Structure 1
Amino acid sequence: MSSTRPLAVLVGPPGAGKSTVGALLADHWHADFRDTDRLIEQSQGRSISDIFVDDGEAFFRALERETVVSSLTTSAGVLALGGGAVLDPDVQEALVGHRVVFLDVGIADASSRVGFDGSRPLLAVNPRASWNRLMKVRRPTYESVSTVRVDTAGRTPAEVVAAVVAELGEP
């Protein structure tokens, strides 16, 4: 296994813009972009929602942990983690020493970005209340694993990228 490390790791809740900002940030740095949710979907040949329905959250979280921990040592560009990945203690430990960016977002921006549709299994029932509960539980972990926090409220993806670069500097 190589000892390659990501230039930045993006964490945050659904709707924070991890995939969009991650791709733009990777372009800015002329680097690769990887999204652990997409890596899981590719390896399984099905959507995250289907994995949740067919095999359950515990199975998905095990896949997620393996994918994230592996990607932290084999990805050279920008890496976006699924919203719940940081809740796993092994993932938290693996993030130590990485440049982790918490993309913070409020419910108004998140809902307009993701629409709280059925593709987000943990937000399928009463999406707004579920998102608020999710953030109450996850916020302390997002804050504790991150080296910088960037507020995405009211910002375009390009403005968020500029804020991330301002915080991290160039690689």
Structure 2
Amino acid sequence: MTLAVIVGPMGAGKSTVGALLAESLGVLARDSDTDVERIEGRSISDIFVDSGEQHFRVLEKAAVADALASHDGVLSLGGGAVLDPDTQALLAGHRVVFLRVGLSEAVKRVGLGTGRPLLLGNVRARIKAVLDERAPVYESLADFTVDTDGRTPAEIADEVRQALEQVARP
């Protein structure tokens, strides 16, 4: 079973924190977005542009299901992966950590000149819409929520590690 599943919106630091957490726990880190890119042989942006979001979501769903079934380290999910009801069901029984990020911090981390396909147009407005839409889903799935604003990835990973250790104690 996966030791911890990291969820949250773009700019929360899921991949970075997941890698640091895995290193501190002595396990492997895995990222569902990286898995999709490796399987497809192209970037997520290219998948969105060439094949559309729906195609990407099908690939993402399969990648997450495979990782949840086969990976026993730390798994970071793409921001939209949790929107799929089947994926939500698969997360049951796993320790899910929601990395919460505020709008201003997310905009600062993601940047205004980004190549993220969901952010075409008014970047700040799109990030706000994504945060508003997805926050309730992240919260409903999470065993732990960690605020990331104004904190380093190492501080966040340490808090997650401590939370996981508390759960592991009898």
Report what 1:14 is aligned to: 10
- Over the aligned positions, Cα root-mean-square deviation in angstroms equals 1.1
Report what 1:106 is aligned to: 102
Quick one: distance in 2 between partners of 1:115 and 1:42?
25
How many residue pairs are counted as aligned between the two chains? 167
Offset of residue 119 of structure 1? 2.3
Report what 1:63 is aligned to: 59
TM-score normalized by the length of structure 2? 0.95
1:143-169 deviation line (CA, Å, top 9, x unaligned): 011111000011101110111112211
Report what 2:27 is aligned to: 31
- Cα gap change, 1:70 to 1:116, in 2 (>3 Å): farther
Answer whether contact 1:11 1:80 (CA < 8 A) is retained.
Answer: yes
| One of 134, 137, 142 as aligned partner of 1:146 | 142
Offset of residue 140 of structure 1? 0.6
- What does residue range 52-131 of structure 1 map to in structure 2 within 5 Å? 52-131=48-127
Query: Structure 2: which 5+ runs fail to align?
Result: none
Provide the identity percentage.
54
1:103-159 deviation line (CA, Å, top 9, x unaligned): 000122212222144421111211110010111110110001111100001110111
Query: Structure 1: which 5+ runs fail to align?
Result: none
- Cα gap change, 1:81 to 1:116, in 2 (>3 Å): farther
Quick one: distance in 1 between partners of 2:159 and 2:134?
22
TM-score normalized by the length of structure 1? 0.94
Show structure 1 runs of 4+ deviating over 6 A. none
